[in-house]
Amino acid sequence: MAKVHVNTTVNGDAVEFLCNPGETLLDILRNDLQLTGTKEGCGSGDCGACSITVDDRLVCSCLVLAVEAEGKKIGTIEGVADKDQLNVIQQKFLEHAALQCGICTPGLIVSVQALLKENPNPTEEQARYYLAGNLCRCTGYDKIIRAVMDAAETMRGAA
């Protein structure tokens, strides 16, 4: 089986890789590009730990073929902070203790970033439904939602 050569952009960097036609983008990100911030929790799109953006659209990278990345713009957790400067969402997650074990955190932060881009002023209910695909087993979501609402407010204030 011939490998496919793919040219893409990851967090603003031009990247090329070889993949099997059936390999998922998640596997390539983690195993070939060493971007292990994107986590695998289920492999079936049910947990959201592998959330990334493809051309600014939020997706589960376990449900995207790596070959589909050709010519696209990929965004992962590694691209959220500006060097060592945390993004407001990341900062609010820390301030609100919105993570315990932290395995769902990268996927959640990528999702929250997508949420606030689409809807800078979500209601609590809108935030909860938008994030329903990001499972967290530690927090009961309370502090996550507080962090999201606070981040939204701060970002609106800064805008």
Partner 1 sequence: MKNTNEATDASHYKYIGTRSIRPDGFEKVTGRANYGADLSLPGMIWGKMLRSPHAHAMIKSIDISKAEALAGVMAVVTYNDFPSVSSEIVATGEGTEDLLDLARNLMADGKVLYHGHAILGVAAISRQIAEQALALIDVEYEVLPAVLDVRDAMAKDAPVLHEKMYTEGLAETPNTASNVASVVELKKGDVDAGFAQADVIVEREFYTPTVHQGYIEPHACTVRYDEHGQSMVWCSTQGHFDVRATTAKLLHMSLSKLKVIASEIGGGFGGKTTVYLEPVALLMSKKSGRPVKMIMDRDEVFKASGPGSATRNWIKIGAKNDGTITAMQGKLHYEAGAFKGSPARLGGMTAFTPYDVENMFVECYDVVVNKPKVAAYRAPGAPQAEYAAEMIVSELAARLAIDPIDFRLQNAAKEGTKTIYGPKLKRVGLVECLEAAKNSPHYQQALKENQGRGVSSGFWFNIGGSSSVTLNMNRDGTGTIVEGSPDIGGSRASMQLMAAETLGIAAESFKTIVADTENIAHNDGTGGSRTTFATGMAVVEAAKDVIRQMKERAASVWNVNVDVIDWVDGVAINVGGSEKLSAAEICATADRTGGQISGQGNINARGAGPSFAVHICDVEVDKETGKVDVVRYTAIQDAGKAIHPSYVEGQYQGGAAQGIGWALNEEYVYNDKGILQNPGFLDYRIPLASDLPMIETVIVEVPNPAHPFGVRGVGESGIIPPLAATAYAVSDAINAPITDLPCSPPNVLAVIQANS
Partner 2 sequence: MPIVDYKAPVSVDEAITMLADCNTDVKVLAGGTDLIIQARPASSNPLTVIDVKYIDSMMTASVDSDGLTLGPAMSCAEFTARDDIKAIYPGLVEAAYLIGSTQVQGRASVGGNLSNASPAADTIPPLIANGARCVVAGPDGERDVAVEDFVVGVGNNCMLAGELLKKIHLPLPQARTSDAYLRFIPRTEMDIAVAGAGVSITLNSDGLCTAARVAIGAVAVTALLVPAAAEALIGTKLEDSALQAAASAASAASKPISDRRGTADYRRHVVGVLVKRAASIAAQRAQEK
Q: What's the min distance (Å) between Cβ of 54 and partner 2?
A: 8
Q: What's the min distance (Å) between Cβ of 47 and partner 2?
A: 9
Strand pairing report for 51-54 and 57-60: antiparallel
Structure tokens at 106: 């990268």
Give 44 or 159: the residue with its C-beta nearer to partner 1: 44
Q: Is 105 helix (H, G, I), strand (E, B) or coil?
A: helix
Give 128 or 146: the residue with its C-beta nearer to partner 2: 128
Query: Is position 100 an interface residue for partner 1 (rule: CB under 8 A)?
Result: yes
Count of Cβ atoms closer than 10 Å to residue 42 Cβ:
13
Residue from 132, 137, 140, 142 binding partner 2 (CB under 8 A)? 132
Residue from 145, 151, 152, 155 binding partner 1 (CB under 8 A)? 145
Count of Cβ atoms closer than 10 Å to residue 116 Cβ:
20
Q: What's the min distance (Å) between Cβ of 84 and partner 2?
A: 28
Query: Is position 127 an interface residue for partner 1 (rule: CB under 8 A)?
Result: yes
User: CA 78, 58, 62, 42: dihedral to nearest 10 degrees?
Assistant: 90
